[in-house]
Chain A
Amino acid sequence: MFRVRRTIAVLGAAVVLAAACGNSPSGDGAAPTPDTAAPTTAAPVTTAADVPEPDAVVEAPEPDASEPDEPTADEPATTEEAPEPAADELDAAEAPEPETDDPAPTTTTEPVVEEPVDPYPHRHDFVPLDGVPGVTVDEIRVAVIGTGKNNILGTCILPCFHTGIQAYFDYVNDAGGVYGRRLVIGELLDDELGFNQQRSLEVIDGNNSLAAFQATLLPSGWGPLNDAGIPTFTWNIHSADSVNRDAIFGSFVIGCAGCTQRGLPWLAAHAGAGRVALLGYGVSETSKVNTQASADSIRLYGADVGGLEVAYVNDDLAFGLPNGIGPEVTQMIDAGVDFIAASMDLNGMLTLAQELERQGVRDQITMLHPNTYDVDFVAAAGGLLDGDYVLVLFVPFEYQSSSPLRHAYDQWVPAHGGPTAEQTMAGWINADMLVTGLLEAGPEFDRQAIIDSLNRITYGAGGLINPIDWTRQHTAVVPGVFDHAYAQECVSYVRVEQGSFVTFLPEPWMCWPGDTDAWSEPTPTDFAG
C-alpha cells in the first residue's frame, strides 16, 4: 500500500504543479479569435469574375500539344525574357491589352466602347525567386491531399478533386502558365481516411509545395497547414476546421449551420408544399443543428411564403439508417407531410426514398437533397428520385452560364476523363483560387503573399459561386449578426426528372440581402452575367 500512497502523493503534487501552469498563447489550438477581431469593412471589389481568363475563346484542349517555351535552369529568364505562350492561343485566350498610347476620345458624339482591362498584365512576367518552397525557374508545385481509399461515403472524392485541379492546371499551362512557370501537382497523397494530419505534415516537412489542396472526410491536417503558413484550398465541408484560419480557403463557406435561411421555405413553397418534415442524423452535430435551423426557417418564414408549417422534425436518426426508416415515414404520412428536407448523405436519402416508395407515397412527397448532386447516383436510382430538388453550391452544370471559367471546365475536365461532378468542380475552382491568389500577389510572390492577397479580395470564381469576401468570411457567423455573412444569401437548386437533373430557376441563383434576415422576395441572380 505504501507504493500506492507514494504514487498518489506524487500525482497529487503533479496536480498542484499543473494547476499553476498556463496555456500556450501560440499555436492553432489557442483560444479562437473572437468575431470582432476580423475586419468588418467591405473588401475591395476585386473578383475573379473580373479576371480575363486565359480562354475567352477556348480551343479544344490539347494539354500536351502546346507546351510554352520555358526558361531553363541554366538560362533563368528575366522579366524581359518571359516565355511567350503560343501566340495564337494566347491571343484568343487573353483579353486584349488596352491600347494606352491612343488618346482618349474627346468628343461624345459616338458611344465609347471600353476595351476590357486585364487587371493582371504581369501574369507572364518572370522574376527569379529564391527560397520560395515549391517554386523553381519553370514550375510552381503544389500538393493534393484527399480521401481515396477507405472512403466511407463511396463517392468519388480524391480522384475527381485531383482531376479538376489537373485539368485547370493544364488549361492555364496551355496558355503560358503563371509568371513563366508551369503549374504542377508535385505531391498526390491519399490520406486513407485516417492519415490526413500525417500527410499534411509530410507536405510541411518536405517543403516542396507552394500550396496545398485538400478534399478529405477527416480534416485533421488543416490546422498544421494553416499554422505552417501554407495556403490551403479545400472542399470545405468542414466549417469548424476552416473557421478562424486565414490560410484555409474553400469554394464555399458554411458560415453558420444554425442560422435560419430563406432558400428552404422559398423552395418548399415553390414546390407547392404545405407541411414540411425535417430530418437529420443524431450522431452528426452538423446534421442535427442544420435540421433545427431548417425547422426554425420554416417557422420564421412559413407565413411569408403562403402558410408553410413544420409538420415533423426528427434529428435523431442513426447514421446509415441501419434500422430502416419505416416508423418515421409512417409518422410523416400521418402528419400530412408533403415536403421533406433532410440533412443526410446521399445513401441515406436513397434509403428514405425507398421507404417512401414502399409506403406508397413517393409521388406525393417531394424531397430536398443536400448532398446528392451526382449524375451517376441519380441515374442509378432509376427514377426513384424524380420530382426531388437538389441543393448545389456552385452554378449547376445544367444552367447555361456565360462564365468563361465554366466554358473552360466543360472542355478541359472531360478531356481529362473526369466527370462533370461536384468534386471535379471543387478542384477546378480551388485551382482557380490559387491562380487568382498568385496573380493578386504579383510576380514576386511567396506563400504569405498569396494568403494576404486572397484575404484582401472577394473571390467569385468567374461567377460560378456566390462570391466569398475573404476579408471577413474566415470568421464564423453568429445568428442575427451579419458581419461575417455572405453579402447575399443565395441558393441554387436543380430538379430531378427522369433520372437526371434539370433547371427550373430563371437564373442559377436566388438571392436575398445578406445584411438582414427579414423576408423579401428573392432576386434571380447570375454572378457571371
Chain B
Amino acid sequence: MSGAGGFFEDLFRGLLQGTPPGAVYALVALGFVLTYKTSGVFNLAFGAQAYISAAMYFKAHTLWGWPKWAALVVSAFVLAPLIGLVLERLIFRHLRTASAVSKLVVALGLSVALPELFNQAARFTAVAGRQITGIIPDGASVFYDPFGVYRFNRDELAMMAVALAATLLLAALFRFTMIGLAMRAVVESPRMTELSGINADRTSAFAWALSSTFAGLAGVLIAPRFNSLLSTDFFTLVVIAVAAAAVGKLVSLPRALLGGLGLGWLIAVFNTFLPRWSGDHTWLRPFQENLTPSLPFVVLFAILVLWRAIGREREASDPLSGVDPPPPALAALARHPKLTLFTRLFGVGFIAVVGSVVWFRAGVLWMHLVTTAVIMAVIYLSVTVITGMAGQISLCQGTFAAIGGFTIFQMADRFNMSVLAAALLGAGVAAAVGAVLSLPVLRLGGVWLAIATLAFAFFFDAVMVKFSWVGGGTTALLTGTRVPRPLVGPIDFASDRAFLVLAVVVLVIVSVVVIQLREGTVGRTLTALRGSEVAAASIGISAARARIIAFAVSAAIAGLGGALLSMHQQNVNYSTNFGPVNALFWLVIVVALGARTVEGAIQAGAAFALFEPLILKGDLLAWILRGEDHLPGLLPISGSWRLVLFGMMAIQFARHPEGLVEHGKRRASARINRWLEAREGAAP
C-alpha cells in the first residue's frame, strides 16, 4: 500500500485521478460544441444519441457476440450518423430559422423520446454488472502508470487520446476547410448561405451526420465507465458537460476540452482534500457533505450566474428572420361568435357528461386517475405562466412542486398544521424560492436560463432533499413522507370523491388566476416583452419586474399543485413524482399540447394521467368493443410509449409553439369560420 504523501504529491495524484472523468466530460462537451457550431441546436439530446450507440454496441458485442470492430462500425459509424441524418431531414432542416429556445424544446423532446424508442424497438434493458467491454483489447484490465502515482487503464487512455485528437481535428476542420466554414455559415443564415451558392441542405446533413457520429463514438468510449447502461446517466452527464461547454461559450473546442478536464480535476481535488480537512475543521463538514455530490451542478450554476460574458452572448439568429411572419393569435380570439357559443356549450356538456360518469360510475382507480389529471393540470398551469406567457423555459417546475409537497409534510408532521393552510404556505415558499432564483438567472434568458434552472433542480435533488427540514431525514427513513388529507368542518377529504371536488375547485381558482394574469397588466407586459424587449423597455416596462412576477407566480402554482398531489397520494413520493428527470416530461407534454392556454394545461394533465390507461392499455377501445376479449393482440402497449409519443409531439413546438391541439383548433376554427361566413353571406 502507498502511504500518505505530501500536499503536492496528493494534489498531483488528485489531478491524475480527475483526468479520466474529466476526459468523459470533455468528450461530451466537445460533442455538444460540435453540434451547436454546426447546427445551432443546444442539443440536450446528445446524451440520448450517445446512449443509443452505446446500447447498440453492447447488444451487438456483448449479447450477440459480434467482433468489437463490427459492433463499433455498426453502432458509431452507421447507426449514429443515420440517426443524425434522419433528425436533420425530418426535424431540424425545418427549424433552421427557429429560435434557440424552440430548438432546445425540440431537443428536450428528443432526449425523452429517443432512448425509449430504441429500448422498445431493440427490446433493450439494463443488466446489472454486464459492462460494455471497451473497444481496446483488455481495456479495463491492463494498466499503465506513467508517473508512478496513479494507474490508467487502456480504455481511459484511449478516451483521453480521442478527446485530444478530436479537439485538434475538429478545430482544424472549422478553421482550414471549406466545409467547416460552410457549416458555420449555414448555422448563421441558411438563406444567405444559399445566396452564395452553397447547398445548405447538404451542408446541414453533413453537419448532423458528423456530430451524431461523434455522439456515437463518445457513447461507446464512455460506456465502460458505467456498470449498467441507463439513458438517465447519459442525460445527467450531458447536463454536467454543459458546464464544460459553457467555458467555451459553446463555440470554442479547446476551451470545452479544458473545461471538461478542469471539472474532473476540480471534483477530484475536492474529494481529495475536503474530507481530510473537514476532519480537523468541523465547520468544513457541511460543505463536504453537501458540496461533494452536487459539485458539477454548483459549478454549472456558478458559471452561468457569475460569468457575465455568458449572459451577454447573443444566440445565433438569422438576419433574415425579421421577414418571417409573427406567430398567429390564439384560435379562441379569432372564432366566429356562433362557433364560440357552440364550443362553450359543447365544453359544458362534455364536462357534465364526463363528470357524471366519473362521479357515479368511477371506481377507486378511475377516481384516482381523474383526480391526478386535475392536479397535474394545476401544476401544468405553472408552465403556462412561465413558458406560454413569459416565453421562458424553466426546467425546475418539479422542484417547485416538491417544495409544496415537502412543506405540507413538514408542517403536518412537526406542527400538525392543517394541510390546506400548509399547501398555501408551500405555494408561498415556492414563490419565494422562485423569485429569489429568478434574480440571478433571468438576466441569462433563453437556453441559459433553462440550463440554470435544470442545474438548480439537480442541486435540489442532490443536496436539499437530504436535509431533515426538507426531505424529512430520519423521520422519512422510518415512516416515509406521509401526508394526511384535509378536513374542513364536516367534510372529510379522505373520501376520494370529496378530494376530487377539492382538486377541481383549486383548478378552477388557479385557472381564473392565470387568465386574470394573462389579461391583466402582467400578462400584457409579458406579451410586449415577447414581441420586443427593447421596444417594451422604451415605453417604461420593466422586464425584470414582470419576469420575476411570472417566475414567482409560476413557482407558487407548481408548489400548490405539488402540495395537492402529495395530499392526493397521501405521500410526497419525491422520487416518483418530482425528480429532475421526471419533471422534464412535464414541459414536454405541455408544450406538445398547448403551453399558451388553460385548455392546453388541462389537456396535458388529462394526457399525463389518462393516456396510458385509456389508449395504451386499451381501456377505451375495450369499452367501445364491449369487452377486453375483443382487443387486438397489440394491446396493452407499454406505458413507456407515452414518452416516445409526447416527446415526438414536442418536436412540433418549433413550428407550432402554441401546441398541436391549439394548432388543430386554429385550423378547424378557420375552416368553420369560413363556412359560417359563407352561409351568412349567402343568406338573404
Contacts and interface: CB of A to CB of B under 8 A. Distances in A.
Interface of A: 1, 3-4, 6-7, 10-11, 14-15, 17-32, 149-155, 192, 194-198, 201-202, 204-206, 218, 220, 223-224, 228, 239-241, 243-244, 256-258, 282-283, 285-286, 288-289, 314-318, 320, 322-324, 326-328, 330-331, 333-334, 336, 346-348, 350-351, 354, 358-361, 364, 374, 376-377, 380-381, 476
Nearest to B577: A220
Interface in B456-505: 461-462, 465-466, 471-474, 476-480, 482-489, 492-494
8 closest A-B pairs by CB: A29-B570, A326-B17, A347-B227, A205-B365, A18-B420, A154-B128, A154-B126, A154-B228
Nearest to B521: A1
B199 interface: no
Interface of B: 1-5, 10, 13-14, 17-18, 20-21, 125-131, 140, 143, 150-151, 153, 225-230, 232-233, 236-237, 240, 264, 267-268, 271-272, 275-276, 288-290, 292-293, 363-366, 368-369, 412-413, 416, 418-421, 423-424, 461-462, 465-466, 471-474, 476-480, 482-489, 492-494, 509, 513, 516-517, 519-522, 567, 569-571, 573, 575-576, 582, 612-613, 638-640
Contacts of B21: 322-324
A331 B276 contact: yes
B128 A198 contact: no
A83 B487 CA distance: 52
A11 B129 CA distance: 53
A359 B3 CA distance: 12
A258 B477 contact: yes
Contacts of A26: 485, 492, 494
Interface centre among B127, B150, B151, B233, by most A CB within 10 Å? B127
Nearest to B267: A323
Given A17-B420, A327-B17, A350-B129, 14 more contacts: A22-B418, A23-B418, A23-B486, A26-B494, A153-B126, A154-B125, A192-B638, A223-B569, A243-B480, A285-B472, A316-B288, A316-B293, A323-B18, A347-B228
A23 B484 contact: yes
Contacts of B272: 327, 330-331
B480 A240 contact: yes
A32 B227 contact: no
B143 A24 contact: no
Contacts of A228: 364
Contact of B486 (A22, A244, A316, A354): A22
Contacts of A22: 418, 486-488
Given A205-B365, A331-B275, A333-B2, A154 B127 contact: yes
Given A244-B479, A346-B129, A205 B363 contact: yes
B516 A32 contact: no
A206 B364 CA distance: 9
B368 A326 contact: no
A195 B493 CA distance: 24
Nearest to B488: A21
A323 B513 contact: no
Given A154-B130, A201-B365, A282-B293, A19 B421 contact: yes
A149 B483 CA distance: 29
B478 A240 contact: yes
A228 B227 CA distance: 39
Nearest to B419: A23
Nearest to A217: B575
A24 B513 contact: no
25 contacts: A18-B423, A24-B484, A32-B482, A153-B126, A196-B576, A201-B364, A201-B365, A201-B369, A202-B365, A204-B364, A204-B365, A218-B573, A220-B571, A220-B573, A285-B466, A286-B477, A317-B293, A318-B293, A322-B225, A323-B271, A326-B150, A327-B272, A336-B1, A350-B131, A358-B153
A238 to B, nearest CB: 8
Interface centre among B420, B513, B638, by most A CB within 10 Å? B420
Given A22-B486, A205-B365, A27 B494 contact: yes
Contact of B128 (A202, A316, A347): A347
A29 B485 contact: yes
B130 A380 contact: yes
Given A22-B418, A22-B487, A29 B571 contact: yes
Tell me the interface secondary structure of chain B in the complex: helix
A320 B232 CA distance: 11
Contact of B418 (A20, A149, A220): A20
Given A316-B293, A322-B233, A257 B477 contact: yes
B47 to A, nearest CB: 12
Contacts of B573: 197, 218, 220
A192 B576 CA distance: 11
A153 B471 CA distance: 23
Nearest to A35: B478
B462 A151 contact: no
A119 B638 CA distance: 45
Contacts of A153: 126, 128, 228
Contacts, number: 275
B520 to A, nearest CB: 4
A324 B20 contact: yes
Nearest to A202: B365
B485 A32 contact: no
B516 A3 contact: yes
Contact of B412 (A17, A23, A333, A350): A23
B227 A24 contact: no
Nearest to B477: A285
A395 to B, nearest CB: 23
A347 B129 contact: yes
Contacts of B276: 331
Given A198-B369, A223-B482, A18 B275 contact: no
B421 A18 contact: yes
Contacts of B478: 239-240, 243, 256, 476
A454 B475 CA distance: 27
A194 B520 contact: no
A36 to B, nearest CB: 15
A28 B566 CA distance: 12
B424 A15 contact: yes
A327 B268 contact: yes
A511 B311 CA distance: 63
Contacts of A256: 478
A6 B521 CA distance: 13
Nearest to A203: B365
A14 B237 CA distance: 44
Given A155-B128, A218-B575, A24 B2 contact: no
Contacts of A32: 479, 482
A360 B3 CA distance: 13
B462 A283 contact: yes
Nearest to B269: A327
Interface centre among B127, B471, B478, B613, by most A CB within 10 Å? B478
Interface centre among B3, B128, B151, B638, by most A CB within 10 Å? B128
Contacts of B424: 11, 14-15, 18
A324 B16 CA distance: 12
Contacts of A24: 484-487, 492-494
B521 to A, nearest CB: 6
A276 to B, nearest CB: 15
A196 B569 CA distance: 12
Nearest to B236: A322
A282 B485 CA distance: 31
B424 to A, nearest CB: 5
Given A198-B368, A220-B569, A318-B462, A240 B17 contact: no
A18 B131 CA distance: 54
Nearest to A364: B1
A377 B130 CA distance: 8
Nearest to A348: B227
Contacts of A336: 1
A198 B17 contact: no
B476 A240 contact: yes
Nearest to B473: A285
